[in-house]
Structure 1
Amino acid sequence: MDRTLQLRTATPRDLDWIHELRHRVYAEELGQHPVDPSGRLRDGLDGDNVYLVAARGETRMGFVSLTPPWVGRYSLDKYLTRDELPVLSEEAPFEIRVLTVEEEWRSTAAAPLLMYAALRWAAARGGRRVVAMGRTALLDMYLGVGLRPVGRTVRAGAVSFEVLSGSVAELTRTVAERHGRILERLRSDLDWRLDVPFAPRADGCEHGGAFFSAIGTDFRTLARRHEVVAADVLDAWFPPSPGVRAVLAEDPGWAARTSPPTGAEGLLAEIAQVRGLPAESLVVGAGSSDLIFRAFGRWLTPGSRVLLLDPGYGEYAHVTERVVGCRVDRLPLRREDGWLLDPGRLAAVTRDGKYDLVVVVNPNNPTGRHAPAEGLRAVIESSPARTRWWIDEAYLGYVDPADSLAGLASADERVVVCTSLSKMYALSGMRAAYLVTGPETAGELRRWTPPWPVSLPAQLAAVAALRDPAYYAGCWSRTHVLRRELADGLRHLDGFSSVDEGVANFLTVTLQPGGPGAAELVRACRRYDVFLRDLSPMSPAYEGRTVRIAVRGTTENARIVAACRSALDALREPAAVVSAAPGRVSR
């Protein structure tokens, strides 16, 4: 018999065994449910639950059940009201329950590995909190992984359960600290077939950019860049303007060895002139992430309360929750509303002044939707004086650079507009960005800015780019045409339930329910050197089924469509299992 322990998502053939094992354990062994003459115990959530199975060869050892938040109901609803258990309504948790192992395998690693697999599955789909019904007799096992009682006990038949909860981020840290070495030992003999990496990524915000691993991060095989389609990051499909290329080519040796203007004075002056803003209201940085870390580190503490959009750009959640440790609330954007931000809803949740900072990415990444500045201005101006607003306009050029709140920000110390020059001006490799805010706030941030915050090549390139608005306007206009063409090509494929364009240099595709998930599509496309972005870890709202695709040029867009077609065809084959390693398919 194959002794390798396998973890996988349950197949339809597993369901009869799951129902039979549940009856043996929870009806016959524990007396939680009445004995059923069929010898099967089914669940009202069977059609919505996800079951993870541990097996050795053909021998099934145990399973665990997850109920994702998008189902809209939980098993716990049978026992407690939402008023008694508000976590179910307030935090959109994943419910983990019915951890069940065959008697002969209960002393093995099957149960803890199933719990770990459930945590990884929830994290990979944007889960931020889990709830569980832990059998009182096994409470130490649940406490050992970091779950904590919420003060509610449930009794079902002869069995009592403790209701437990935990933050996915904290549980992940706890498991790594307490059980990391054991997990690494088990990993070597584990057949991990879930569509999620076995180990969480290193601490840091999860961005795109996996394409560079195919080129080679040691920079020894840069010719591979011509073979790889980098559609998992939102870099521009077009090159920088001729003026940018000329200034960088004029004397690259001098630009590389020479210290830049200490405070990027020339760049600040150019931004002020082009945007019609006072120079004293500006702060520059090496990309928007530099500005986010610098500003948030100054303004926020673990006692701060922050509001983010959900889904929204992941850097903000990373910095506020994981770096600073703030209390973060989320304003959900809804698929049924077209992912649009409703200014009325935003005003309603911010008018009481409980937030120290509200972050709005506009146009939003990853939804691609834009909220007109007029509506946002009204919300901001009517909000309490203690609330600071951070408006990220990195993709505004694809709508209208004039529809900016930068003018408001330059005169209001509570408002910040952050703008990256990377994406709109094809300067992602240069790392240049700026923010606009009131002179006092800007002056404070400049005092906390190290000298030479932007390299000399980046300053030269940014200034030259700002001096060529006609070139970039043409590129932005062409982007809309390319996006529509890419969307049309993808809409003709069998397997997507929707293709949503938005307004920027990317679109999203959502896979049909019941078929392959986003992670499977992304991995399968990498076989063709086409890299796409799985949005699942960003938000549970995507249900593990949505992929973001950056707009590229005509030839690369055709490769994207072809790769998606081939990947979807392969994934529809019932015997195909896409392995966890990119570029490999096992059958």
Structure 2
Amino acid sequence: MSRPLTLRSAGVDDMPWIHELRHRVYAQELGQHAPNAEGRLVDGLDGENVYLVAARDADRVGFVSVTPPWVGRYGLDKYLTRSELPLLDEADVFEVRLLTVEPDARSGAAGAALMYAALRWIASRGGRRVVAMGRSDLIGMYRAAGLRPVGRTVRSGAVDFEVLTADVTELSRYAAGRHAPALARLAGGVDWRLDVPFATGPDGCEHGGASFTAIGADFRTLDRRREVVTADVLDAWFPPAPGAHAVLREDAGWIARTSPPTGAEGVLAELAAVRGLPPETLAVGSGSSDLIFRAFGRWLTPAARVLLMDPGYGEYAHVTDRVIGCRVDRFRLRREEGWRIDPVRLSAVVADGSYDLVVVVNPNNPTGRHAPAAELAAVIAAAPSRTRWWIDEAYLGYVGAAESLASFAARDPRVVVCTSMSKTYALSGVRAAYLVAEPGTAAELRRWTPPWAMSLPAQLAAVAALRDPGYYAGRLRRTHELRAELAGELAAVDASVTVEQSVANFLTVTLPPGGPSAASLVAQCRLQGVYLRDLSPLSPAYEGRTVRIAVRDTAENARILDAYRAALSQLHAATSTLTATGAAQ
């Protein structure tokens, strides 16, 4: 019986073997480099590359390297200038190099498994494009994996290489489709030890968090919710207003069996009164995702060009890129600028009128930063008339109603403001949201809204919540206090970790370079029933090192702190042991 194939990240003790195998293959076998007396080939990127290793028990059989964009340079830079290969200047390009397998293992699954492992690792760090050098004599193998030549050939020693590239989403679809049987066999016979799931979700998007996997999606074990801290989703830590709670409990049987008002007329009337907006500028939906899918499905086609903030809420990339298939560009928010939206730079990017839609989540999730309404309104006012703007104000309640662009949207046909009632009204479970647009746009979306788009529980709760602003003002003030307390306690645990508060109900922690990954921290905390959100898949700007933590109540925040402290201790101990083992060898 064959031994199972193990896939894992390389440790320091693997590097001597990697250098030796590299020498045997690229110097002695292929003649790409001159042999040397040490019998080892090192690489200038060894200290920054990520190496993934395939092994059978203690026997290593192959490896592949990945160079992330945050390294700032690639192996291909030795052969081509950026003007010759401009895609290397893009911020989300990962280079795959040095796929190397021991000669006696080349007829097995190691090579394909390493290629798939590299793809999954890249996707888990927010990569959107892959670039690689593939031996010209093996070009058929790379084409079969979904890679395509860019028309550049480079020579290294006695070997010719083709420069190859592919979109990460397309590669993932290709693997899950054409190579599904091979992946199924691989899944059944591999010991997967990477800090990324073997396969992505059915639609390639992680909607919400993973905490319900611990509670139980079949709803037979809901008592488990008391054992789990759901800090991976941004649901409110507090209950909805007393009036909303009371109306839902008053006659649950009647509420469950009764059809709601067809067009949520009571909700629309209450929103108009509370927001001071004409009723004809409003449309409601079953959560903001309902409104996003409905509106974007009407407005956009695969020919449309869309601009998203990066990092940004993943649902927008999912809908525009994966569902509709638009051309999606990213406006890069920069860590060194505090993740702020630079209005001058944004104005310059949209000035040519090439975008059909620009999406701005404000305050932004996951960065937690808020763009002043006056700045954003000035950018929109100066933008070309053909460009539509979608402003997501799900977290605006934490900043204040004065910062809303709703009244602007009610007048300007280019602007739509979408507002979820999940985050600040504590109504995530009943699914309630609305948008504001000029009357013509709002009427079009209402026409494409199915009847009973909001359930009766959602309508009842939304109306009751809107009638109690005082309750929510107090809860939001307390959220800011809880966030500050949690941030201070987390920062005190480890000075090498950067803790950043947002303006809303969450904060982020960024682990130092060379330390444990965000995925490993999240995995360790889950062992203690504490669910946090690894932000790595949302953007390569996070470099696989940033975790988002939702603010909970005092007791649950204490559990978060304990789990975080224990997880860091465990991870640092594991790193120290690995380093010591490598040094001893």
TM-score band by shorter chain is over 0.9
For residues 342 and 230 of structure 1, what CA distance do their matches in structure 2 show?
33
Q: How far has the Cα of 1:68 moved from its partner?
A: 0.4
Corresponding residue of 1:222: 222
Corresponding residue of 2:581: none
Is 1:401 the counterpart of 2:401? The answer is yes
Where in structure 2 are there 5+ consecutive unaligned residues? 579-585
Q: How far has the Cα of 1:575 moved from its partner?
A: 7.5
Corresponding residue of 1:9: 9
Q: How far has the Cα of 1:240 moved from its partner?
A: 0.5
For residues 174 and 221 of structure 2, what CA distance do their matches in structure 1 show?
39
Matched letter for residue 114 of structure 2: L
Greater mean deviation of Cα atoms: 512-521 or 374-383:
512-521
Q: How far has the Cα of 1:147 moved from its partner?
A: 0.3
Q: How far has the Cα of 1:149 moved from its partner?
A: 0.4
Is 1:19 the counterpart of 2:19? The answer is yes
Corresponding residue of 1:79: 79
Which SS does the other structure have where 1:139 is aligned? Answer: helix
Matched letter for residue 193 of structure 1: R
Corresponding residue of 2:380: 380
Corresponding residue of 2:164: 164
Corresponding residue of 1:47: 47
Which SS does the other structure have where 2:552 is aligned? Answer: coil
Which SS does the other structure have where 2:507 is aligned? Answer: strand
Corresponding residue of 1:556: 556
Corresponding residue of 1:138: 138
Matched letter for residue 290 of structure 2: D
Greater mean deviation of Cα atoms: 253-262 or 308-317:
253-262
1:97–1:132 contact (8 Å) kept in structure 2: yes
2:268–2:279 contact (8 Å) kept in structure 1: yes
Change beyond 3 A, Cα 1:548–1:496 = farther
Change beyond 3 A, Cα 1:181–1:576 = farther
Q: How far has the Cα of 1:577 moved from its partner?
A: 11
Q: How far has the Cα of 1:179 moved from its partner?
A: 1.8
Corresponding residue of 2:176: 176
Corresponding residue of 2:582: none
Q: How far has the Cα of 1:86 moved from its partner?
A: 1.2
Matched letter for residue 566 of structure 1: A
Change beyond 3 A, Cα 1:140–1:52 = same
Corresponding residue of 1:298: 298
CA offsets 1:495-519 (integer angstroms, 9 cap, x no match): 7520010100000101122121111
For residues 205 and 281 of structure 2, what CA distance do their matches in structure 1 show?
29
CA offsets 1:558-584 (integer angstroms, 9 cap, x no match): 000000111111112238999xxxxxx
Q: How far has the Cα of 1:336 moved from its partner?
A: 0.9
Q: How far has the Cα of 1:466 moved from its partner?
A: 0.6
Corresponding residue of 2:538: 538
For residues 63 and 272 of structure 1, what CA distance do their matches in structure 2 show?
61
For residues 577 and 200 of structure 1, what CA distance do their matches in structure 2 show?
31
Change beyond 3 A, Cα 1:222–1:92 = closer
Q: How far has the Cα of 1:365 moved from its partner?
A: 0.2
Greater mean deviation of Cα atoms: 236-245 or 493-502:
493-502
Q: How far has the Cα of 1:189 moved from its partner?
A: 2.2
1:91–1:129 contact (8 Å) kept in structure 2: no
1:351–1:383 contact (8 Å) kept in structure 2: yes
2:175–2:183 contact (8 Å) kept in structure 1: no
CA offsets 1:366-394 (integer angstroms, 9 cap, x no match): 00000000000000000000000000000
For residues 43 and 176 of structure 1, what CA distance do their matches in structure 2 show?
33
2:227–2:529 contact (8 Å) kept in structure 1: yes
For residues 388 and 113 of structure 2, what CA distance do their matches in structure 1 show?
44
Alignment of 1:260-409 (within 5 A): 260-409=260-409
For residues 265 and 195 of structure 1, what CA distance do their matches in structure 2 show?
48
Q: How far has the Cα of 1:404 moved from its partner?
A: 0.6
1:495–1:512 contact (8 Å) kept in structure 2: no
For residues 570 and 47 of structure 2, what CA distance do their matches in structure 1 show?
25
Alignment of 1:200-279 (within 5 A): 200-279=200-279
Corresponding residue of 1:421: 421
Matched letter for residue 489 of structure 1: E
For residues 138 and 126 of structure 2, what CA distance do their matches in structure 1 show?
28
Which SS does the other structure have where 2:205 is aligned? Answer: coil
For residues 2 and 527 of structure 1, what CA distance do their matches in structure 2 show?
32
Q: How far has the Cα of 1:207 moved from its partner?
A: 2.6
Corresponding residue of 2:462: 462
Which SS does the other structure have where 2:352 is aligned? Answer: coil
CA offsets 1:255-278 (integer angstroms, 9 cap, x no match): 111111111111001111111111
Change beyond 3 A, Cα 1:10–1:563 = same
1:422–1:431 contact (8 Å) kept in structure 2: yes
Which SS does the other structure have where 1:411 is aligned? Answer: coil
For residues 188 and 245 of structure 2, what CA distance do their matches in structure 1 show?
49
Q: How far has the Cα of 1:208 moved from its partner?
A: 3.0
For residues 36 and 386 of structure 1, what CA distance do their matches in structure 2 show?
62
1:303–1:326 contact (8 Å) kept in structure 2: yes
Matched letter for residue 237 of structure 1: W
1:2–1:57 contact (8 Å) kept in structure 2: no
Is 1:446 the counterpart of 2:409? The answer is no
Matched letter for residue 519 of structure 1: A
Corresponding residue of 1:565: 565
Corresponding residue of 1:152: 152
Corresponding residue of 1:115: 115
1:508–1:548 contact (8 Å) kept in structure 2: yes
CA offsets 1:146-171 (integer angstroms, 9 cap, x no match): 00001111111111100000011111
Corresponding residue of 2:510: 510
Matched letter for residue 359 of structure 1: V
Q: How far has the Cα of 1:91 moved from its partner?
A: 5.1
For residues 373 and 573 of structure 2, what CA distance do their matches in structure 1 show?
47
Which SS does the other structure have where 1:460 is aligned? Answer: helix
For residues 46 and 433 of structure 1, what CA distance do their matches in structure 2 show?
50
For residues 245 and 339 of structure 1, what CA distance do their matches in structure 2 show?
37
CA offsets 1:328-374 (integer angstroms, 9 cap, x no match): 00001111111111111111100110100000000000000000000
Corresponding residue of 2:197: 197
Is 1:124 the counterpart of 2:142? The answer is no
Matched letter for residue 137 of structure 1: D
For residues 72 and 202 of structure 1, what CA distance do their matches in structure 2 show?
33
Q: How far has the Cα of 1:58 moved from its partner?
A: 1.5
Which SS does the other structure have where 2:35 is aligned? Answer: coil
2:50–2:65 contact (8 Å) kept in structure 1: yes
Where in structure 1 are there 5+ consecutive unaligned residues? 579-587
Q: How far has the Cα of 1:177 moved from its partner?
A: 1.7
TM-score by length of 2: 0.97
Matched letter for residue 99 of structure 1: L
For residues 176 and 124 of structure 1, what CA distance do their matches in structure 2 show?
16
For residues 113 and 525 of structure 2, what CA distance do their matches in structure 1 show?
29
For residues 348 and 495 of structure 1, what CA distance do their matches in structure 2 show?
38
Is 1:528 the counterpart of 2:528? The answer is yes
Q: How far has the Cα of 1:112 moved from its partner?
A: 0.8
Corresponding residue of 2:187: 187
Corresponding residue of 2:430: 430
Corresponding residue of 1:583: none
Q: How far has the Cα of 1:231 moved from its partner?
A: 0.3
For residues 14 and 399 of structure 1, what CA distance do their matches in structure 2 show?
50
Q: How far has the Cα of 1:209 moved from its partner?
A: 2.7
Corresponding residue of 1:102: 102
Matched letter for residue 442 of structure 1: A
CA offsets 1:207-265 (integer angstroms, 9 cap, x no match): 33311121111111111111111100000011111111111122222211111111111
Change beyond 3 A, Cα 1:345–1:575 = closer
Matched letter for residue 492 of structure 1: A
Matched letter for residue 99 of structure 2: L
Corresponding residue of 2:583: none
Matched letter for residue 174 of structure 1: Y
Q: How far has the Cα of 1:299 moved from its partner?
A: 0.1
2:69–2:91 contact (8 Å) kept in structure 1: no
CA offsets 1:533-582 (integer angstroms, 9 cap, x no match): 1111111111111110000000100000000111111112238999xxxx
For residues 158 and 127 of structure 2, what CA distance do their matches in structure 1 show?
32
Matched letter for residue 415 of structure 1: V
Corresponding residue of 1:585: none
The CA RMSD measured in Å over matched residues stands at 1.4
Corresponding residue of 2:498: 498
Matched letter for residue 558 of structure 2: A
Q: How far has the Cα of 1:204 moved from its partner?
A: 4.9
